Amino acid sequence: MIIAILMSTYNGELYLREQINSLLYQTEQNWVLYVRDDGSSDSTISIINDYCIKYPSKIILIKDNLGNLKSASSFMYLLSVVESDYYMFCDQDDVWLPSKIQMSLSKIKKLEQKQTNEAVLVFTDLTVVDSNLKTINSSMWAYSTINPDNAKVFYKTCCLNSVTGCTIMFNNSLKEKVLPYPAASRMHDWWISLNAAHFGIVDYLKDTTVLYRQHDANVLGANQTKQFHYFKRALVLQKTIILNIKILKMLQALNFKKNYFKIYWTKLKIILR
């Protein structure tokens, strides 16, 4: 049993060492880190090569000539070329708490025992921190008003993503459902959670397992959700229409039938909540 940790890097020299070190300090060590660089112009590649030399059985740099794919496609390319029993995504700028892998692995194995050969995904909460790892909020779910139970329901997942990619672990059965990755998908974690909610089992740990670093160079980050957030967002007509078109294209790319009336009805209930 091997866990593949997939990391896409891009100009990550400031925080990369701290993140990789947090993997090396994990209580569960049955993993291999596969790194793909997405066209860095700083010392990121040099840092990765140093770790590859020092830990040749644990850290592997995947090389290709594909250039800059952007974050989501780069992660999913890694998923397509790496074979393992379980998979995790790792951002270049966070810090994993020591028992993250062990806790996720224990949870996913328990779920697999209940449903043999089922596609399974587990995820966790995060602690939101600033660039110096000072706590902004001890729970991203509370900070961003995320209900993790929504991730278990396909039609709720169609309307909003409750799963943060750097917290997930999923098995090979789910990998087979999420590839190939469509260009229309908004983000890889949302695409994976949609397929997991439809085909298999989605569950979570209430624990926070990641120090989720917020800084100026984040691709995506934690946003504080205040009262009437969704109602106010609905009033910004142009932005909402553009967002919904992108989501619709992603849903159309799913390789199974959807009830679009149910999706729109679920969306309306969320907005009016």
- How far CA 249 is from CA of 61, 158, 254, in Å, comes to 33, 11, 9
Nearest-5° Cα angle at 149, 119 to 193: 40
Give the pLDDT mean for 245-263. 91
- Model confidence pLDDT, tens digit, residues 101-118: 999 999 999 999 988 889
Which stretch of DSSP H or E encloses residue 198?
A: helix 188-199
Token digits of residue 96: 């994993």
Separation between Cα atoms, residue 265 and residue 247, nearest integer Å: 15
- Model confidence pLDDT, tens digit, residues 206-228: 999 999 999 876 555 555 555 56
Mean pLDDT estimate for the chain = 92
Give the pLDDT mean for 127-143. 97
Task: CATH number of the domain at 97, please.
Answer: 3.90.550.10
The percentage of the chain sitting over the pLDDT mark of 70, rounded to a whole number, equals 91
Residue 146, pLDDT > 90, answer yes
For helices 44-54 and 16-24, give the axis angle rounded to 10 degrees. Answer: 20
- Domain range for residue 65? 3-272
Exposed (0-12), middle (13-18) or buried (19+): which is 114, by Cβ within 10 Å?
exposed
Task: State the total domains in the chain.
Answer: 1
In DSSP notation, 235-261 reads H-HHHHHHHHHHHHHHHHTSSS---HH
Using 50, 70 and 90 to split pLDDT, how confident is the model at 238?
Answer: low
Residue 99, pLDDT > 60, answer yes
Total residue count of the chain as it appears in this document: 273
